[in-house]
Amino acid sequence: MTTDHFPPLGRMTALTAIVAAAVLGACDRSEDSRTAGQRLDAAVAKVEQKSDEAQAKMRQDTAEFKADAKQAGAELKADAKQAGAEAKGAVGDATITASINAELAKDKELSALRINVDTVNGRVALHGTAPTDSARERATRLAMGVDGVQSVDNQLAVKNG
């Protein structure tokens, strides 16, 4: 059958009528004893059920996403706090080392060039040489006098000359 003799709007109406007849014909041939209205109501109910399930799943996924985001934020905050503390400790250790070197340089018997000062978490290690036992002990006292020093490991060797 050709649709050339139908105007454009008529072609659409004719096509819709043909499709509707085919669908209804298929419905009539099924073994389902329900009326078309009952089948439509069942289909609408099924769509509503699927929509409710999808909304529940979306709410669950959103809640899980929020929980994951909150945990990631807490972990990021903790990592940033730790990094800040480590940076502060590094700056503090560098300040302690510089202050001890300045104190050693002021002492006539001790030379900052012959004494290596290492500081980690406020714990100071002195390496190198001192001219006398009293100068060696003075190096410990000078280092302990600097703010932030927790302990001093004096490994200076006494060497005359």
Neighbouring CB atoms inside 10 A of 33's CB total 6
pLDDT of residue 161 exceeding 70, the answer is: no
For residue 63, the model assigns a pLDDT of: 92
pLDDT of residue 26 exceeding 80, the answer is: no
For residue 28, the model assigns a pLDDT of: 52
Could you give the CA distance from residue 65 to residue 59 in angstroms, rounded to a whole number? Answer: 10
On average, the pLDDT of the chain sits at 82
For residue 84, the model assigns a pLDDT of: 77
Domain ranges in the chain?
35-158
Q: What is the mean pLDDT of residues 51-70?
A: 91
Nearest Cα residue to 149 out of 157, 161, 140, 138: 140
Query: What is the pTM for the complete model shown?
Result: 0.48
Tokens for 97, please give them.
């080392």
For residue 67, the model assigns a pLDDT of: 93
pLDDT of residue 49 exceeding 60, the answer is: yes
8 A C-beta contact, residue 154 and residue 140: yes
- Tokens 């996403």 correspond to what residue? 65
Split at pLDDT 50, 70, 90, the class of 52 is confident
Which residue would you say has higher pLDDT here, 21 or 49? 49
Tokens for 123, please give them.
């714990």
Could you give the CA distance from residue 85 to residue 89 in angstroms, rounded to a whole number? Answer: 6
For residue 137, the model assigns a pLDDT of: 93
User: pLDDT tens digit string along 84-142?
Assistant: 777 666 668 889 999 998 988 888 887 656 789 999 989 999 999 888 899 899 999 99
